[in-house]
């Protein structure tokens, strides 16, 4: 006795309400132009039968999917070492949910998966894509452009060709860096160092630029390249102390890096902030708040970034090389561009 619980169709609702399928369809989709008595009758039939529209059938005719792909292209485990993506996802999810769109998550493990993702996007399974791929040499953005799907990028992508700029949402990395360094200057520090992030990511480059905006042509030995990890931060800090024992402030490219720097500073007997002031970036709470001493850092509103990305896509601000759809209804002359979210300096004990 396989209780074949096949769900009710439009047909069934129509029969029960004593109207045509078309009328039920109209009611289900907002019920414009249907007279009150019928609307109620249909609504009731829907209720009684527990009718839920079959999305596949609907997509087949509308060519819409009410679904958006989120592509996270980060081979490194590092992505998962801080809550960055989790927060973005939450922001994205909230916005998509508010507009009855589903979130299809596409995680990639290196290049092997790129073709798969490109095929999926080109396959017209979703109305748009939100893409995180922050590495300069990543071929994925290009592939995605060819897929002809409206797309919004998370973080400024690095396209130097002449095509109309991609739509993206980013934090004000450069401005945030400037504020951090300015704060250090305000503290009277004169030997301000910078430990960079992985310079194949625009965020790291922008933060370095912000640092340079303030310090000008300071001693180049005060800039040490690193990679956004605590271990990298340690190595960089050691090298820094080696090169410039008189350093009195460090602006680290992110909180994890700052953590590594703090550790080395402590080991070598420097007091923070008395001897060396330290500032991070991101304001990853469990890291920044629990650091010793608690970390002064530049906060970015990560969840808001996610929300905004989704909003841009749904509003059709996104580049849409190809076919139509509810997502992507922007006017043709809408200049594709980036949206930059402000950052805030959070003062704690380390600077």
Partner DNA sequence: GTGAAAGCGCTAACAG
Partner DNA sequence: CTGTTAGCGCTTTCAC
* Interacting partner of 109 out of DNA, a copy of itself, none (Cβ under 5 to 8 A depending on kind): a copy of itself
Beta bridge partner(s), residue 279: 251, 296
Quote the CA–CA distance of 199 and 179 in Å, as a whole number: 20
* Residue 255 · residue 295 · CB < 8 Å: yes
The site map against DNA for 8-37 (x = CB under 7 A) is -xxx------xxxxxx-xx-xx---xxx-x
Tell whether residue 60 is a contact of a copy of itself (CB under 8 A). Answer: yes
Tell whether residue 40 is a contact of DNA (CB under 7 A). Answer: no
Quote the CA–CA distance of 325 and 127 in Å, as a whole number: 7
Quote the CA–CA distance of 136 and 351 in Å, as a whole number: 32
Tell whether residue 146 is a contact of a copy of itself (CB under 8 A). Answer: no
Tell whether residue 50 is a contact of DNA (CB under 7 A). Answer: no
Tell whether residue 58 is a contact of DNA (CB under 7 A). Answer: yes
Nearer to a copy of itself, 78 or 315 (CB): 78
Beta bridge partner(s), residue 338: 168
Q: Give the DSSP letter of residue 6.
A: P
DSSP assignment of 8-60 equals P-HHHHHHHHTS-HHHHHHHHTT-TT--HHHHHHHHHHHHHHT----HHHHHH
Tell whether residue 106 is a contact of a copy of itself (CB under 8 A). Answer: yes
User: Which residue of 44, 47, 48, 62 would you call a contact of DNA, by CB under 7 A?
Assistant: 62
Nearer to a copy of itself, 44 or 97 (CB): 97
Burial of 79 (0-12, 13-18, 19+ CB in 10 A): middle
Would you put residue 316 in left (φ > 0), alpha (ψ -120 to 50) or beta? Answer: left
Tell whether residue 125 is a contact of a copy of itself (CB under 8 A). Answer: yes
* Residue 202 · residue 136 · CB < 8 Å: yes
Tell whether residue 38 is a contact of DNA (CB under 7 A). Answer: yes
CB of 90 to a copy of itself, least distance (A): 6
What residues from 181 to 220 belong to the interface with a copy of itself (CB under 8 A)?
A: none
Residue span binding DNA (CB under 7 A) among the ranges 49-57, 103-111, 226-234, 247-255: 49-57
Q: What angle do CA 309, 170, 181 make, to 5 degrees?
A: 155
Interface positions with a copy of itself (CB under 8 A): 2-7, 50, 52-57, 59-60, 65, 67, 70, 79-83, 85-87, 89-90, 93-94, 97, 102-107, 109, 113, 116, 119-120, 122-125, 148, 230, 256, 259-260, 263, 266, 285-287, 289-290, 292, 322-324
Interface positions with DNA (CB under 7 A): 6, 9-11, 18-23, 25-26, 28-29, 33-35, 37-38, 51, 53-54, 57-58, 60-62
């Amino acid at each position: 006795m396989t209780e074949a619980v096949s769900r009710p169709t439009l047909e069934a609702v129509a029969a029960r309400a004593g109207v045509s399928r078309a009328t039920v369809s109209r009611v289900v989709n907002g019920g414009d132009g249907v007279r009150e008595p019928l609307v109620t009758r249909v609504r009731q039939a829907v209720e009684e039968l527990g009718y839920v529209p079959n999305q596949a059938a609907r997509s087949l005719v509308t060519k819409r999917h009410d679904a958006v792909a989120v592509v996270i292209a980060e081979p490194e485990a590092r992505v998962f070492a801080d809550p960055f993506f989790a927060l973005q996802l939450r922001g994205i999810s909230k916005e998509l949910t508010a507009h009855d769109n589903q979130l299809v998550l596409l995680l990639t493990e290196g290049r092997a998966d790129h073709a798969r993702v490109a095929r999926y996007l080109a396959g017209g399974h979703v109305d748009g894509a939100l893409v995180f791929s922050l590495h300069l040499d990543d071929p994925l953005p290009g592939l995605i452009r060819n897929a002809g799907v409206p797309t919004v990028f998370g973080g400024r992508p690095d396209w130097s060709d002449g095509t109309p700029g991609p739509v993206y949402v980013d934090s004000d990395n450069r401005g945030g860096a400037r504020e951090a360094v300015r704060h250090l200057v305000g503290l009277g520090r004169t030997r301000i160092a910078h430990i960079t992030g992985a310079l194949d990511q625009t965020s790291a480059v922008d933060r370095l630029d912000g640092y340079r905006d303030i310090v000008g042509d300071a001693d180049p030995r005060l800039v040490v390249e690193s990679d956004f990890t605590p271990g990298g931060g340690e190595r960089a800090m050691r090298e820094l102390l080696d090169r410039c024992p008189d350093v009195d402030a460090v602006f680290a490219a992110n909180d994890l890096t700052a953590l590594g720097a703090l550790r080395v500073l402590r080991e070598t007997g420097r007091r923070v902030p008395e001897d060396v002031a330290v500032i991070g970036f991101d304001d990853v709470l469990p890291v920044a708040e629990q650091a010793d001493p608690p970390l002064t850092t530049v906060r970015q509103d990560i969840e808001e970034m996610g929300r905004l990305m989704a909003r841009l896509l749904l509003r059709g601000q996104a580049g849409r090389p190809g076919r139509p759809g509810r997502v992507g209804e922007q006017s043709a002359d809408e200049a594709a561009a980036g949206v930059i979210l402000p950052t805030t300096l959070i003062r704690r004990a380390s600077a």
